[in-house]
Amino acid sequence: MSSPQFSHLDADGTARMVDVSAKPVQRRRAVAEGRIELAPATVQALRDRALPKGDVLTVARIAAIQAAKRTDELIPLCHGLPVEQVDVDFAVDEGGVKIRATVITSAKTGIEMEALTAVSVAALTIYDMCKAVDKGMVIGAIRVTEKIKE
């Protein structure tokens, strides 16, 4: 039985960046989603824009866009990609906020890590901006929901 091949390890087991130089440039889109659970009072304050640190969702959207553009600085073996579009949407309900990020590029490799990073940083930003009033927040369910090559 042969051992599995890992794309980020060379023959000696040393970590390496995957060589994508021979791949064609393609338009790529990835969508990721996640959620942050909030106390009902925090949800109401968020809806009323009455949290002490200001407009939480606007700041979280900007943080998510910035994070998507800098993913290769955070994830060691990610390729630096030309991020061409980042859309971040929030759906506030009684229990918290659903976060959805769509990221588009024209590149030789996928952009799902940028979408995941955008969602993660949006959730962390919401957490940071609400932590003074809510000690029980939970971040989770972060996942890729679409990955498309065109």
Tell me: the pLDDT tens digits for 62-118? 999 999 999 999 998 899 999 999 999 999 999 999 999 999 999 999 999 999 999
Question: Residue 13: inside a domain, yes or no?
Answer: no
Cα torsion for 18, 21, 23, 27, to the nearest 10°?
Answer: 90
pTM for the predicted model, two decimal places: 0.91
| 1 located within any domain | no
Three-state secondary structure string covering 22-56: CCCCEEEEEEEEEEEECCHHHHHHHHCCCCCCCCH
Report, as residue numbers or ranges, the catalytic residues: 128
Q: Is residue 17 part of a domain?
A: no
State the average pLDDT over residues 43-64.
96
Q: Looking at the domain assignment, is residue 10 inside a domain?
A: no
The pair of structure tokens assigned to 77 is 């073996």
Mean of pLDDT over the chain: 93
Instruction: Show the tokens assigned to 124.
Output: 């962390």
Instruction: Tell me, yes or no, whether 53 lies in a domain.
Output: yes
Q: Give the number of other Cβ atoms within 10 Å of residue 47's Cβ.
A: 10
The confidence score (pLDDT) of residue 21 equals 86
pLDDT band at 15 (very low <50, low <70, confident <90, very high): confident
In which domain, by residue range, is 86 found?
26-149
Rounded CA separation 34/123 (Å) = 8
Average pLDDT over residues 24-50: 97
Domain total in the chain: 1
* Distance separating alpha carbons of residues 36 and 97, to the nearest angstrom: 5
pLDDT at 131: 97
Q: Which two tokens stand for residue 111?
A: 């952009």
Q: With respect to residue 132, please indicate whether it lies within any of the assigned structural domains.
A: yes
| CATH number of 102's domain | 3.30.70.640
